Chains A and B, each alone.
Chain A
Amino acid sequence: MSLLEVRDLKTHFRTDDGIVKAVDGVSFSVEKGQTLGIVGESGCGKSVTCLTIMGLNPKATTTSSGEVLFNGNEILHAPASKLREIRGNEIAMIFQDPMTSLNPVYTIGKQLEEAILLHRDVSKKEARARSLELLKAVGIPRAERRVDDYPHQFSGGMRQRVMIAMALVNDPDLLIADEPTTALDVTTQAQILDLMTRLQQDFGSAIMMITHDLGVIAEIADDVVVMYAAEIVEQGSAETIFKRPHHPYTWGLLGSLPRLDADVERLVQIKGQPPSLLNPPRGCRFHPRCPYVFTRCKQEEPELLPVSNDGDHLQRCFLDEETKDREAQKLLAGMMAEAG
Chain B
Amino acid sequence: MIRYIIRRLLWAVVLFIAVTVVTYIIFFIIPADPARAVAGRNPTPAMIQNARHYLGIDKPVYIQYLRFLKRLVVEQNLGRSFMNRESVNSEVGKAAPVTASLVFGGAVAWMLIALPIGILSALRPRSLLDRASMTFVLIGISAHPIWIGLIFIYFFSYKWGLTPISGYCDFINPSPGADCGGPVQWAYHMILPWMTFAILFAALYVRMIRANVIEAMNEDYVRTARAKGAHESRVIRVHVLRNALLPVVTMLGMDIGLALGGAIFTETVYGLPGLGRTAVQSLNALDLPTVEGIVVFSTLAIITFNLVVDLLYAWIDPRIRLA
Contacts and interface: CB of A to CB of B under 8 A. Distances in A.
Given A95-B223, A97-B220, A103 B228 contact: no
A86 B219 CA distance: 22
Looking at chain B's contact residues, the main secondary structure is helix
Contacts of B111: none
Nearest to A81: B231
Given A84-B231, A95-B220, A118-B230, A103 B225 contact: yes
A114 B230 contact: yes
A211 B219 CA distance: 21
B249 to A, nearest CB: 12
B319 interface: yes
A85 interface: yes
A124 B147 CA distance: 56
A100 B229 contact: no
A220 B226 CA distance: 27
A102 B221 contact: yes
B219 to A, nearest CB: 7
B224 A102 contact: yes
Q: Which of B227, B230, B316, B319 neighbours the largest number of chain A CB atoms within 10 Å of its CB?
A: B227
Contacts of B231: 84
Given A95-B220, A102-B224, A87 B229 contact: yes
B242 interface: yes
B60 to A, nearest CB: 55
Contacts of B221: 100-104
B86 interface: no
Interface string B47-84: 00000000000000000000000000000000000000
Contacts of B215: none
A256 B231 CA distance: 43
Contact of A88 (B220, B229, B232): B229
Contacts of B319: 104-105, 150, 152
B220 A101 contact: yes
A103 B239 contact: yes
A205 B238 CA distance: 29
Contacts of A86: 229
Given A56-B223, A150-B318, A105 B242 contact: yes
What bracket does the count of chain A residues touching chain B fall in? 20 to 34
A89 interface: yes
B239 A115 contact: no
What bracket does the count of chain B residues touching chain A fall in? 20 to 34
Given A103-B239, A105-B242, A105-B243, A56 B219 contact: no
B33 interface: no
A103 B236 CA distance: 12
Interface string B296-323: 0000000000000000000011110000
Contacts of B239: 103
B287 to A, nearest CB: 49
A141 B232 CA distance: 34
B228 A118 contact: yes
A119 interface: yes
Contact of B229 (A89, A97, A152): A89
Contact of A93 (B227, B242, B316): B227
Q: Which of B224, B228, B317 neighbours the largest number of chain A CB atoms within 10 Å of its CB?
A: B228
Interface string A111-123: 0001100110000
A43 B232 CA distance: 27
A221 interface: no
Contacts of A54: 227
A114 B220 contact: no
Given A95-B224, A101-B220, A104-B319, A118 B242 contact: no
Contacts of B226: 56, 87
B224 A104 contact: no
A152 B317 CA distance: 11
Nearest to B240: A103
Given A56-B223, A95-B220, A95-B224, A105 B229 contact: no
B228 to A, nearest CB: 4
Contacts of B317: 105
B229 A104 contact: no
A87 B230 CA distance: 8
A87 B228 contact: yes
A41 B70 CA distance: 73
A115 B242 CA distance: 18
B318 A104 contact: yes
13 contacts: A56-B223, A84-B231, A87-B226, A87-B228, A92-B228, A95-B227, A100-B220, A101-B223, A103-B221, A104-B221, A118-B229, A152-B318, A166-B224
Given A84-B231, A103-B225, 19 more contacts: A54-B227, A56-B223, A80-B232, A87-B226, A89-B229, A95-B220, A95-B224, A95-B227, A102-B221, A103-B224, A103-B239, A103-B243, A114-B225, A114-B228, A115-B229, A118-B229, A119-B229, A152-B319, A166-B228
Interface of A: 54, 56, 80, 84-89, 92-93, 95, 97, 100-105, 107, 114-115, 118-119, 150, 152, 163, 166
Closest 6 interchain pairs by CB?
Answer: A88-B229, A88-B228, A87-B229, A100-B220, A103-B221, A150-B318
